[in-house]
Amino acid sequence: MKLFPIRGGIHPDYRKELASEKAIVALPMPAALYIPLQQHVGAPAEVLVREGDLVKKGQMIARSGGAVSSPQHAATSGQIKSVTDIPAPHPSGLAQTTIIIEPDGKDEWIELPEPIADPFTVDPHAIHERVAQSGIVGMGGAAFPSAVKLNLGTQKKLEILLLNGAECEPYLTCDDRVMREYPEEIIDGARIMAHALGTARVVIAIEQNKPQAIEIMTRAASAFAEVEVIGVSVQYPMGSERHLVQAITGLETPARKLTADLGVVVHNVSTARAVHHAVRFGRPLVARVVTVSGGAIREPRNVWTPIGARIADLVEFCGGFSARPESVVNGGPMMGQPLATLDAPVVKGTSGILALTAEEINDRPTSACIRCGSCITICPCGLSPVEMAAFIRKDNLDVAAKLGVMDCFSCGSCSWVCPSHIPLVHYFNYAKGALNDLELERRKNERVKTLAEARTIRIEKATEAKRAALAARKPASDAAPPAAGAEAKAAIEEKATS
């Protein structure tokens, strides 16, 4: 199949060999699981359990909190220790409501929903429903509720389900391992998703630095004519949804549109496996594969981790730190978030935990920009990082917005390539946050203004009505000169319309 080029991009040190040959191993059940209510994009889930309740593995312990939300399930059987605020896996380290489960060691499943007998003939809604009930969210890191994305087929005519196995982030090997070890499950899940979406084709895109995964997946897909496995070029950020769609179809998703508008929906390979589990066995999403790697980890591994295990438990399972980590990162080194604490739990979107040494991070003091233009050459979004950063430094956010800072998805390529070590992405993240705040403020002000204007008009109308009633009661002869009354009325009307 013909592939299409994508703009820019970089070739970082992938260092996937640290973990790529380590088969998936299960984490022994930790002493407690911490299941946050917000593990996804959208509204947080609503708690269904109380302190002291006994729960079984797979039992729903928090229900979906809205149209874009996702329920949470107990990842093992045990007792609810408390529902309390603990630090979230987020750079701020701020607390969020979390359900704490004390495992009973039996790891006993609840009575699961019946498998969907023939998922290729049922109404797509049955699949949406099952995926939504199973708490499945995008497992590539974005954690967008998958059922919402699977529903796109009801609104738009779709052609291709694109399964994202690019895994373009350095270090991460969780998708690689899942593809190598569970190819049939992924392909079955993908075919079910394709049915739910109404797409005729399934394309599985894998970066060519994973030859075993390509081979194994191709073999597993050979039984199905509609499923195609494609090796895409190794170029960060190939795994970006829009760029992957461009590489496969040649189509560029217009700004403010979705890839679905082009007829393509992108899901992660591990998400497909989760759908397979939900549909074929009724199992909700209660565990995932997490790559624990980095130069400061004694024994890098790919770990089958119950949702809610603390990151500290994972690190300990992998032999602890062999050196002092300069940073511990949640996700890949390019787009991952720094972790403030190891007490935070693994959530559904946690693809990797990396403990990186200063040498690997290769950070240096920032020096002056020499206008080499590398950041412009490599920006996969066609932006001018050097120029945007210059305006953001002066807090000239309007110009930065005009230059397209909101189109930046923080892939990190510009920061990576900058010879002056200017933290460009940091500037853009700051600007995006500040611009979002300004936009919220503007909307709020607009709303207040509309309300205030409506009130003024209402009061004036009432006053006028009163005056008219008063005038009507008085005899015409001793009323004020009619001209004056008309003038006042005109003035009020003018005020109301201005």
Partner 1 sequence: MSVASIKKSGPFAHGYSTVQKTMFLVLLALAPATAFNLYLFGWPAILLFTVTIGACVAIEAGCLALAGKPVKATLADCSAILTGWLLAMSLPPWAPWWVGILAAIFAIALAKHAFGGLGQNVFNPAMVGRTVMLISFPVSMTIWVAPHPLFSAGAPGLLEAFAITFGGNMPDTMSAASALGYIKTELSRGIPVTQSMGQVPDLMDMALGFRAGSLGETSALLILAGGLFLMAKRIISWHIPVSMMGSLFLIAALFHAIDPARFTSGIFHLLSGATFLGAFFIATDYVTSPVSKPGQIIFGIGVGLLTWSIRNFAGYPEGVAFAVLLMNSLTPIIDQYTRPRAFGRSRKGEPLPLEKKP
Apex CA 411: angle with CA 363 and CA 397, to 5°? 90
Question: Least CB distance from residue 433 to partner 1, whole Å?
Answer: 10
Give the DSSP letter string of 258-288: -GGGGTEEEEEHHHHHHHHHHHHH---S-EE
Question: Least CB distance from residue 354 to partner 1, whole Å?
Answer: 7
Tell whether residue 160 is a contact of partner 1 (CB under 8 A). Answer: yes
Residue 151 token pair: 């529903």
Binding mask 387-406 for partner 1 (x = CB under 8 A): x--------------xxx--
Residues pairing with 137 in the sheet? 145
Tell whether residue 7 is a contact of partner 1 (CB under 8 A). Answer: yes
Question: Least CB distance from residue 188 to partner 1, whole Å?
Answer: 24
Nearer CB in complex with partner 1: 134/259: 259
Nearer CB in complex with partner 1: 221/356: 356
Which one-letter DSSP state was computed for residue 157?
-
Most distant CA atoms of the chain, gap in Å: 102
Tell whether residue 426 is a contact of partner 1 (CB under 8 A). Answer: yes
Single out the residue of 148, 150, 206, 417 in contact with partner 1 (rule: CB under 8 A): 417
CB 268 within 8 A of CB 240: no
* Stretch 72-101 residues interacting with partner 1 (CB under 8 A): 91, 93
Per CB under 8 A, which region of 25-33, 128-136, 209-217, 262-270 contacts partner 1? 262-270
Single out the residue of 361, 434, 492, 496 in contact with partner 1 (rule: CB under 8 A): 361
Residue 249 token pair: 């179809």
Binding mask 320-359 for partner 1 (x = CB under 8 A): ----xxxxxx---xxxxxxxxxxx----------x-x---
Number of residues that bind partner 1 (CB under 8 A): 86
Single out the residue of 2, 23, 157, 483 in contact with partner 1 (rule: CB under 8 A): 157
H helix intervals, 357-423: 358-361, 374-378, 385-393, 397-402, 413-417
Tell whether residue 168 is a contact of partner 1 (CB under 8 A). Answer: no
Single out the residue of 113, 198, 423, 485 in contact with partner 1 (rule: CB under 8 A): 423
Query: Omega of the bond prior to 237 within 30 degrees of 0, cis?
Result: yes
Residues pairing with 82 in the sheet? 100
Rounded CA-CA distance 465/293 in Å is 75
Question: Least CB distance from residue 360 to partner 1, whole Å?
Answer: 7
CB 278 within 8 A of CB 264: no
3-state SS, residue 277: helix
Tell whether residue 142 is a contact of partner 1 (CB under 8 A). Answer: no
Rounded CA-CA distance 23/303 in Å is 9
Question: Least CB distance from residue 335 to partner 1, whole Å?
Answer: 6
